[in-house]
Every structure is written in C-alpha cells, then in structure tokens.
Amino acid sequence: MVEATDDTRAEDLVFDPPAEFAANAVAKGSLYADAAQDRLGFWADQARSLLHWHRPFTQTLDWSEAPFAKWFADGKLNVAYNCLDRHVLAGNGDRVALLWEGEPGDSRRLTYAELTAEVKRAANLLTALGIRQGDRVAIYLPMIPEAIIAMLAVARIGAVHSVVFGGFSAESLRARIDDAEAKLVITADGGYRRGRVSPLKPAVDAALESGDSTVEHVLVVQRAWPDDEELAWTDGRDLWWHEEIAQVDWEHEAQGFDAENPLYILYTSGTTGKPKGILHTSGGYLTHVAYTHRNVFDLHPETDVYWSTADVGWVTGHSYVVYGPLANGATEVIYEGTPDTPRPGRWWEIVQKYGVTILYAAPTAIRSFMKAGREIPQQSDLSSLRLLGSVGEPINPEAWLWYREVIGGNRTPIVDTWWQTETGGIMISPLPGVTAAKPGSAQVPLPGITVEVVDDKGRPLGNDESGLLAIPEPWPGMLRGIWGDPQRFIDTYWSKFPARPTGPVYFAGDGARRDHDGDIWLLGRVDDVMNVSGHRLSTAEIESCLVSHPWVAEAAVVGAHDETTGQAVVAFVIAKARHADEANAEGATNELRAHVASSIGAIARPRELFIVNELPKTRSGKIMRRLLRDAAEGRPLGDTTTLTDATVMQAIADRLKN
Ligand code: WT7
C-alpha cells in the first residue's frame, strides 16, 4: 500500500486485499485465465454450476440475429425455483432469506422455507386473477417483503413484471402501465418514509382514472394508512392482497420456461422524453447476477449477512436485492425507509442490529453521511462489516477513503461496481480477494466480460487516453431489447460504432479512460442523461414536462455538479409572453419545480430553476447546454462565438452569480 501524501495522485493510491480475506475468497485470480481461454465455455460452466435447469441447454450463445442475443436458448428453467425451492430441497429451508426492517422499527424474518411458501401462494393468486405466461404485471410497492414475494411470484408463473419505483408520480406510473399493457397492478395502501405514511394507492387510482387502461385488477397490500383518512376503493377492480391470498392453495409446482422467456421490463430514462422499457430475460440474466453477486461480493451464504440498500424500483434492487442474492441462497437485510429516520444513524444501527457483513450502497449516501460527520456511524458497532460495495455513479477518491476508514474500519476491501440497467449485472469491478484496489477507479472488466475504451469511430485507445466505454462482445445479462421498440434498441445501443466481424458493438453512453496500469476510470455520461443520487434522469424528459406547464414557452435542463448527489437538475425556462406576470410573481419557480415533481416524481424536481428571457442557441437553433452547465457550475463562460446572440449567455451568467 502507498501512503497518501499531498502530491500523491489518486491513481497511485493502492490497497492490496488483506491476506486473510484473499485466502478465504470465493473468487480466485484463476477466473480471469479460465474466462480468457474459452469465454463462452466459461459462461456455460457458470450457468450449469450456479443454476438448476429443468432442461439442460446445449447451446450457449446464438448471436446470429445480433443485436438480438439468445443465451442458453434450448434450456428451460424456473427463475423463482432457482431462488427458492432448490435451497429448501438442499436442506437450507431454515436459513433466513429476508431480515426485513420497517421504518417505524417493526421487523419480519422469513426463512427460505417461509419465503418459498409465500411465493407459491402468491403464484396461485396471480393465476387465479387470470395472469398467464407472458402477461405483464406492474408492481408499485414500498420496500416490504411483499415486493419481493410479488416479483418472484410473477417470475414463477412465467409472467413479466414491471416494477415502478414508489417515488414516481401517477402520470409516470400510467405511462409505464400503458407501454407494457399491464393487466394487474400490485400496490400497497401506503408505506413509511421519513417518519410519515406515504400513500401509494391514491397514485394508482389517479393513474387509472382517465381513459381505458389494460388493468383488470389492483391488488393492494395492507401496510400503512393514516387513521383519519379514507382509502378510496373501486369495487370489482380493487382487491386486498391479504383477503385474496387467504383463499388460494399453498401448493404450487414450478414449471420450467425457456431460458429466453421474458422476466421483467424496467423503465429507464434515455435521451428522449419517453422512458425506455429495458427487457431482461431469464437464464442468461440469472446466470450473470448469480455469478457476479457470488464473486464480487465474496458471498459465503452460510455466514454472511448481506445488505444492499437499493430500492426494488431500480435495477440494483432487481439484480442485487432479489435475483442475485436469492439465487445464491444469501441471508439479506431489507430496509423500508430513509437512511436517517428517525435518527441520523439509522443505517448504522441496522448494520449493528443484524451483524451485516457485506454492504452495498451508493456514493451519494456515503457523501451525505460524510457531510453529517463520522460521529454518527461511530455510535454503532460496525465491526461485522468485511466488504463494502459502491454503485450508481463514480465514487470520488475522498468518499472512497472515508467509506473504507470510517465504515470499513480500515479493514474492508471496497468494490466499486460499474454497470447499467441495460447490462443487467455488474460488468467492471475489482474482485475483492484478488484486485489491488484504487480509490475512484472501477478498475477491470470481470472475468467473462469484454470492455474497451474507444474513440468515436470505435477504435480502441491506449492507456492514458480518454474516450467512450464500449462492449464489443455479448454477455449473458445483456438487455434483450426495448419493449415494443426494436428500432430504438438498435439505434440507441448498437449503431454508434461500426460493426466488427464479430458483430455490432454496444455503446454504454459513458466516457472512460484507462490509467497507466490499464485500470478503467469512469468519466460520467456523454449523452443528455443525468445521474442524480445514482438515479438516471433524462434532460429531454424534464424539459418536455416543463413545457407542458401552461406558463412555459421553452425549457433547457442540465445536470450540474453537486457535492452530495453527484449531479443536480438545473432548469432554465422562458415564460410565454401572456403568462409573464405569473411567471415573474413570487413563488413561480417553486410552482414549476413542483410541477416536475408531481408529473415525473420527486427525484426529478430541479434543484434550481431560473426564468430567463432567452436561451443560448447556435445559429441552427440547438440549445447549447454545455454553456448552461458552465454557468450553473459557476465556471467562466467558454466559447460563445457560435451563438446567435452572445449577450444571452452573459445575462444568464450574471443572473446566476446573484
Ligand atoms: C449509469 C447507469 C448500475 C445500477 C445503478 C444505476 C453510472 C453506475 C457506476 C460506477 C461510475 C457508474 C454510469 C452508468 N454508473 N455505476 N460504479 N462508476 N458510474 O443504473 O440507472 O442504469 O445508470 O450509472 O453512468 O451508465 P442506471
């Protein structure tokens, strides 16, 4: 290890894996050689050893219709059986699967036997409600065990879930229901957030209020509801989960489905106003998440207590709360609420209470704890922790070092994991018992994964050169398409670079650089996608939302640097002349910020919103977001000579200074 001095560059700081950790590590360095020697054979071995196949596969990859890949295509499996029944059959039914902690302090513990039983029953309920293989079910739930039970029950019967994060608005929910043509919505009356009941069912009602929808039933889990308020109910459509489930059988035999049977759709923001329904399928996806969860997190399922703080509404919640950990028979903590409720140290109290050994969190959360001060985590006993993970955005070296020292007691390796909703699972990460870790770098592609840093013509770059992250070879967890829009799938991900003899090359949308050792440093998005608190937001989506407000003529949105959240949404708005009075009145900016929160969700609410007279545009009419970002970040204005009116930018910059 190199000690930090004032002039040490971050990339020269290296932490070797502790000897004891390396000696007991699940992943050995030989994985790299095994995968390099026969990449497809390596994945076939992983698929066979990590999963139970109802019918073994004989083909590993079919890339003949690239970019539409098929993995393990002639095999059959049941995803839920792999996450549940087989652990019980192997004699591990008494092992705890879920250690659930509600925000108010209530808790539930479900063993693998109990979770399997619950999922079987829920599968019978879905069948009773007319859900069949291939049907889509929208899930809009807080972080309660039923969220996981519902996802696994949908998977068990070969149907397709579309989980919508509970923080999204009624409008966003409706757009997702319509796009996937969901037949059923599973929700709760409400959940707990920041010490209060946060209602969900009313948003479902609002979503389904206007026009015909494909939804036949709304299944409602009873979780939380304010005493003094009435819960609206639509007879015939709305059903209580607890009442319905009491009427179905406990027995359910899992049937094998094709490896390429769709498992879920998860919507994510792109560069246009319309979210993309990322489609994942079964066998390849489950192989990828089980393999990465075991090796990257060094999972010893008999002894570890794993905790990923992600919500099931995001891909981390799919891959590393539900499918990866449960496929591996892990014991995991699930927490309903916010990190600082009711006390600022809630997360650390949970680590102590359950003896968490592996923690997977986002840099934003780490930075906000850093800001609040180390006294808070130091009030809890964190000595059970032996491995820390980071995901969602680049982790700055300062946050990395704080995480290791204050949370990890200078003992734990850290795995900084790069991946995306589209990749399904982790692609770039250290292996904790093998790789010497560099704070701030996600480092190397995992064994079996090929990643390159290329120029905009797709030509591989050398060390110390910045370029774009590209994935030249298909991988098992890769998205299989965008729901209902194959052309957008091809255009967005596979058309940026010229195809190679091996097929098209995947464009990740991230900038990257390899350092002098060849380690990869992620440089953030290169498209109009922002990353706020590790969540992806589209500039175009927020702009079109602002323009839908009656006062707004034009809007431009940028992601500006933010110390805690990585990036923050900053909006610039031109008001319509006939609404100038309202737009210039006090409270107008808050009204417009609230409009974004209510139409998309609170995470999209602009940190700042400026009502301006003009926006900087090129002569061809394109908004120069780069200049707006410079102004929002307080940088001196760059080259404004290509603007139609260079004084516009100066006026905006002057406004921002005040
Ligand atoms: C984008 C994907 C992966 C699950 C959560 C986010 C950024 C993600 C890292 C990392 C640097 C990262 C990228 C990527 N990102 N992990 N370890 N270092 N950047 O999933 O919403 O699909 O966003 O998050 O920009 O493209 P997502």
Instruction: Indicate whether 625 and 579 sit together in one domain.
Output: yes
**pLDDT value of position 5:** 47
| CA gap 221, 242 in Å, rounded | 7
Q: Classify residue 19: in a domain, yes or no.
A: no
Buried residues in 63-102 as b, exposed as e (16+ CB within 10 A): beeebbbbbbbebbbbbbbbbbbbbbeeebbebbbbbbbb
pLDDT of residue 6 exceeding 50, the answer is no
- Answer yes or no: is the C-beta of 536 below 6 A from any ligand 1 atom: yes
- Answer yes or no: is the C-beta of 615 below 6 A from any ligand 1 atom: no
Between CA 66 and CA 72, with CA 71 as vertex, the angle to 5 degrees is: 145
Q: How confident is the model at residue 273 (pLDDT cuts 50, 70, 90)?
A: confident
pLDDT of residue 45 exceeding 50, the answer is yes
3-state secondary structure 407-436: HCCCCCCEEEEECCCCCCCCCECCCCCCCC
- Answer yes or no: is the C-beta of 531 below 6 A from any ligand 1 atom: yes
Q: Classify residue 264: in a domain, yes or no.
A: no
Instruction: Indicate whether 516 and 553 sit together in one domain.
Output: no
Q: What is the mean pLDDT of residues 256-267?
A: 98
Q: Which one of 498, 521, 544 terminates a domain?
A: 521
- Answer yes or no: is the C-beta of 522 below 6 A from any ligand 1 atom: yes
Place of tokens 């939302």: 545
**pLDDT value of position 2:** 43
CA 567 – ligand 1 centroid, Å = 13
Instruction: Indicate whether 540 and 516 sit together in one domain.
Output: no
Instruction: Indicate whether 502 and 544 sit together in one domain.
Output: no
Q: How confident is the model at residue 7 (pLDDT cuts 50, 70, 90)?
A: very low
In three-state secondary structure terms, 607 is coil
474 secondary structure, DSSP code: -
- Answer yes or no: is the C-beta of 78 below 6 A from any ligand 1 atom: no
Q: Classify residue 493: in a domain, yes or no.
A: yes
Instruction: Indicate whether 614 and 539 sit together in one domain.
Output: yes
Closest CA to ligand 1's atom 8: 392
pLDDT in tens, 430-440: 999 999 999 99
Instruction: Indicate whether 515 and 549 sit together in one domain.
Output: no
Proportion of the chain above pLDDT 90, given as a percent: 89
Instruction: Indicate whether 498 and 586 sit together in one domain.
Output: no
CA 492 – ligand 1 centroid, Å = 17
CB atoms within 10 A of CB 386: 23
Instruction: Indicate whether 550 and 627 sit together in one domain.
Output: yes
Q: What is the mean pLDDT of residues 572-578?
A: 93
CB atoms within 10 A of CB 586: 6
- Answer yes or no: is the C-beta of 525 below 6 A from any ligand 1 atom: yes
CB atoms within 10 A of CB 321: 27
Place of tokens 């930075």: 367
Closest CA to ligand 1's atom 14: 420
Q: Which one of 521, 548, 564 terminates a domain?
A: 521
- Answer yes or no: is the C-beta of 468 below 6 A from any ligand 1 atom: no
Query: Can you tell me which atom of ligand 1 is nearest the CA of 390?
Result: 17
Which CATH number covers residue 549?
3.30.300.30
pLDDT in tens, 177-223: 999 999 999 999 999 999 999 999 999 999 999 999 999 999 999 99
Domain count, the chain: 2
Cα dihedral sign, 100-106-109-114 = negative
Q: Classify residue 229: in a domain, yes or no.
A: no
Closest CA to ligand 1's atom 1: 420
User: Tokens for 273?
Assistant: 């106003």
**pLDDT value of position 9:** 61
pLDDT in tens, 80-127: 999 999 999 999 999 999 999 999 999 999 999 999 999 999 999 999
Q: What is the mean pLDDT of residues 565-583?
A: 94
- Answer yes or no: is the C-beta of 391 below 6 A from any ligand 1 atom: yes
Instruction: Indicate whether 504 and 606 sit together in one domain.
Output: no
Query: Can you tell me which atom of ligand 1 is nearest the CA of 524?
Result: 25
Q: Classify residue 55: in a domain, yes or no.
A: no
CA 356 – ligand 1 centroid, Å = 24
**pLDDT value of position 317:** 98
CB atoms within 10 A of CB 607: 15
Amino acid in the structure at residue 328: N
Closest CA to ligand 1's atom 11: 394
Q: How confident is the model at residue 11 (pLDDT cuts 50, 70, 90)?
A: low
Q: What is the mean pLDDT of residues 457-461?
A: 97
CB atoms within 10 A of CB 23: 9
Instruction: Indicate whether 489 and 551 sit together in one domain.
Output: no
Q: Classify residue 7: in a domain, yes or no.
A: no
* pLDDT, greater one: 613 or 255: 255
In three-state secondary structure terms, 83 is helix
Taking CB atoms within 8 Å and a gap of at least 24, the contacts of 223-231 are: 223/142, 223/144, 223/146, 223/188, 223/189, 223/190, 223/191, 224/142, 224/188, 224/189, 224/190, 224/191, 224/192, 224/197, 224/198, 225/189, 225/190, 225/197, 225/199, 226/190, 226/197, 226/199, 231/189, 231/201
**pLDDT value of position 230:** 96
Q: How confident is the model at residue 56 (pLDDT cuts 50, 70, 90)?
A: very high
Instruction: Indicate whether 569 and 635 sit together in one domain.
Output: yes
CA 195 – ligand 1 centroid, Å = 29
Q: What is the mean pLDDT of residues 508-513?
A: 96
| CA gap 653, 246 in Å, rounded | 62
User: Tokens for 209?
Assistant: 């209020």
98 CB-near residues (< 8 Å, 6+ apart): 108, 109, 110, 115, 145, 148, 332, 334
CA 239 – ligand 1 centroid, Å = 37
In three-state secondary structure terms, 183 is coil
CA 253 – ligand 1 centroid, Å = 37
Query: Can you tell me which atom of ligand 1 is nearest the CA of 535?
Result: 21
**pLDDT value of position 545:** 94
Q: Which one of 459, 490, 521 terminates a domain?
A: 521
pLDDT in tens, 115-174: 999 999 999 999 999 999 999 999 999 999 999 999 999 999 999 999 999 999 999 999
Query: Can you tell me which atom of ligand 1 is nearest the CA of 529?
Result: 25
pLDDT of residue 228 exceeding 70, the answer is yes
Proportion of the chain above pLDDT 70, given as a percent: 98
Q: What is the mean pLDDT of the chain?
A: 95
- Answer yes or no: is the C-beta of 510 below 6 A from any ligand 1 atom: yes
Q: How confident is the model at residue 12 (pLDDT cuts 50, 70, 90)?
A: confident
311 half-sphere exposure, CB direction, 13 A CA radius: 23
> Residue 485: which domain range?
467-521
In three-state secondary structure terms, 243 is helix
- Answer yes or no: is the C-beta of 506 below 6 A from any ligand 1 atom: no
Pure H helices in 108-253: 112-128, 145-156, 170-180, 201-209, 241-245
- Answer yes or no: is the C-beta of 418 below 6 A from any ligand 1 atom: yes
Separation of CA 405 from chain center: 26
Instruction: Indicate whether 539 and 629 sit together in one domain.
Output: yes
CA 600 – ligand 1 centroid, Å = 20
pLDDT in tens, 353-370: 999 999 999 999 999 999
* Peptide bond preceding 342 in cis form (omega within 30 of 0): yes
Q: Classify residue 648: in a domain, yes or no.
A: yes
pLDDT in tens, 15-40: 999 999 999 999 999 999 999 999 99
